[in-house]
């Protein structure tokens, strides 16, 4: 039996490290731009384990549901259009402090600013602007649990899984 937000507390020579899971997405611009291999290389070299992955095509209802917290924002409609413009690669990543580690690795939301302030970040590498920023990362352990469940437990009917050779 697996747990979506499993935390394993263990001794690590003086401190406690917690193994944690987060949801990462390579968004349509990342897939279209052939950035998948480069992003996955960074993920693995940073010590994450990719526990699960699949390519899916979101429809408007499922994209809106995934980003429901932003439904009142001016950019919401455009965000839904963007996230449904092509397939996305969703991954469950695991390592100590996975949520914050992955957020640090991807960098600021606005990729155009990330190119200046965080040039080593993933969004600086493959994002474009405040919307088309190549990758997603859960913003808290609670969000990670919801988002992992969204894609891997109760797949909404508007999420179309696409054949993936590596699985
Ligand atoms: P994400 O959820 O995708 O990991 O991104 P985030 O936490 O860094 O940013 P968030 O505030 O949650 O926004 C979700 C996504 O909405 C798009 N966005 N567009 N046009 C805009 O001003 C704007 N602001 C945000 C981005 O695709 C952002 O990742
Ligand atoms: Mg967010």
Q: Considering the chain, what is the average pLDDT of its residues?
A: 90
C-beta separation of 65 from 159 below 8 A: no
Q: Which two tokens stand for residue 159?
A: 């999420």
Is residue 30 in some structural domain?
yes
Rounded CA separation 98/161 (Å): 25
Structural contact between residues 51 and 43, judged by C-beta atoms closer than 8 angstroms: no
- Structural domain boundaries enclosing 148: 18-162
Indicate whether 3 belongs to any domain. Answer: no
pLDDT digits (tens, 9 = 90+) for 141-152: 999 999 999 999
- Please check whether residue 76 lies inside any domain of the structure: yes
The ligand with the least distance to the CA atom of 109 is 1
Residues classed as catalytic: 136
- Please check the confidence at residue 11 and state whether its pLDDT lies above 60: no
Which residues make up each annotated binding site for ATP? 27, 75, 103, 109, 123, 133
Indicate whether 2 belongs to any domain.
Answer: no
**Residue 1: inside a domain:** no
How far does the centroid of ligand 2 lie from the alpha carbon of residue 13, in Å?
34
pLDDT at 8: 44
CATH number, domain at 141? 3.30.70.141
Cβ-based burial of 18 (10 A; exposed 0-12, middle 13-18, buried ≥19): middle
- Ligand 1 surroundings by CB, under 6 angstroms: 70, 75, 79, 109, 130-131, 133, 136-137, 139
Residue nearest to atom 10 of ligand 1 (CA): 109
Domains held by the chain: number: 1
Q: Answer yes or no: is pLDDT of 133 > 60.
A: yes
**Within a domain: residue 118?**
yes
What tokens does 45 get?
A: 């070299």
Q: Where are the beta strands (DSSP E) in the chain?
A: 8-11, 16-26, 49-58, 88-96, 135-137, 159-162
Q: Is 9 among the domain residues?
A: no
| Closest approach atom of ligand 1 to CA 83 | 27
Task: Over range 62-83, report the average pLDDT.
Answer: 98
Q: Are 159 and 57 in contact (CB under 8 A)?
A: yes
> Within a domain: residue 12?
no
| Ligand with an atom nearest the CA of residue 83 | 1
């Amino acid at each position: 039996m697996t747990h979506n937000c499993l935390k394993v507390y263990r001794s690590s020579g003086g401190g406690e490290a917690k193994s944690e899971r987060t949801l990462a997405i390579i968004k349509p611009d990342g897939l279209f731009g052939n950035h998948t291999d480069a992003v996955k290389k960074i993920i693995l070299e940073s010590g994450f384990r990719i526990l699960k992955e699949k390519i899916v095509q979101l429809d408007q209802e499922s994209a809106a549901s995934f980003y429901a917290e932003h439904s009142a924002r001016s950019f919401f409609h455009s965000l839904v259009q963007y996230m449904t413009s092509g397939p996305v690669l969703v991954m469950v990543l695991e390592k100590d402090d996975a949520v914050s580690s992955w957020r640090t690795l991807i960098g600021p939301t606005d990729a155009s600013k990330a190119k200046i302030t965080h040039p080593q970040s993933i969004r600086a590498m493959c994002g474009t602007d405040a919307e088309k920023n190549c990758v997603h990362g859960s913003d808290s352990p609670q969000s990670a649990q919801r988002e992992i469940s969204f894609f891997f437990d109760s797949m909404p009917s508007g999420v179309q899984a696409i054949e993936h050779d590596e699985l």
